[in-house]
Amino acid sequence: MNDHGHISVRTYWNVFGGLMLLMGLTIGAYYIEKLVLPLPEIVAVGIALLIAFTKTALIVTFFMHLKVSSRLAQLFAASSFVWLLIMFMITMGDYFARGWPAQTGPLS
């Protein structure tokens, strides 16, 4: 019956350390971008998102026990990311196609 493997307390602390490090990185990246090296917005946001995704992955894998969970639980977790993807893709599809076709009606 027991689907759960074991994650040691040591690993938890290591992950915690990693998360703190990444938080420092997020804050650091903000100051570097603001004070030292102004990046185009898309790059800056991209970097921030990348760090955020890494944090999420660490939390989900270790703190939420996904690494040692049953296949079924992993499937459910993965499906939530598929759904996130659906949300982003369709929403961004709208933003992408907002100006199409250029207005030609009586209003313009």
Partner 1 sequence: MSTSAIPQNYTSTRADSATEWIKSWLLTVDHKRIAILYLLSINFFFLLGGLAASLVRVELVTPQGDLMTADMYNRMFTLHGVIMVFFFLIPAIPAVMGNFLVPLMIGARDLAFPRLNLLSWYLYMGGGVFALVAAITGGVDTGWTFYTPFSSSYSNSNVILTMSGAFIMGFSSILTGLNFIVTIHKMRAPGMTWFRLPLFIWANYATSLIQILATPVLGIALLLVMVERVWRVGIFDPALGGDPLLFQHLFWFYSHPAVYIMILPAMGVISELISAFSRKRIFGYEFIAFSSIAIAVLGFLVWGHHMFVSSQSVYSGLVFSFITMLVAIPSAIKVFNWTATLYKGSISYRTPMLYALGFIGLFIIGGLTGIFLGVVAVDIHVTDTYFVVAHFHYVMVGGTIMAYLGGIHYWWPKMTGRMYNEAWGAISALVVFVGFNMTFFPQFVMGYLGMPRRYHVYPEEFQIYHVLSTAGASILGLGFIIPIIYLTLSLFVGKVAGPNPWAATGLEWSIASPPPTHNFDQTPVVTEEAYAYPEDAAAQDSDSWQAGSHL
Binding residues for partner 1 (CB under 8 A): 72, 76, 79-80, 83, 86-87, 90-91, 93-101
Shortest Å, Cβ 32 to partner 1:
22
Q: Which is nearer to partner 1, 21 or 84 (CB)?
A: 84
d(CA 70, CA 81): 17
Q: Which is nearer to partner 1, 35 or 72 (CB)?
A: 72
Residue type, 48: A
Q: Report the alpha-carbon angle 31-37-41, nearest 5.
A: 85
Q: Which of 79, 58, 55, 74 is nearest to 4 (CA)?
A: 74
Q: Which is nearer to partner 1, 31 or 95 (CB)?
A: 95
Shortest Å, Cβ 60 to partner 1:
14
Gyration radius from the chain CA atoms? 20
Shortest Å, Cβ 86 to partner 1:
6
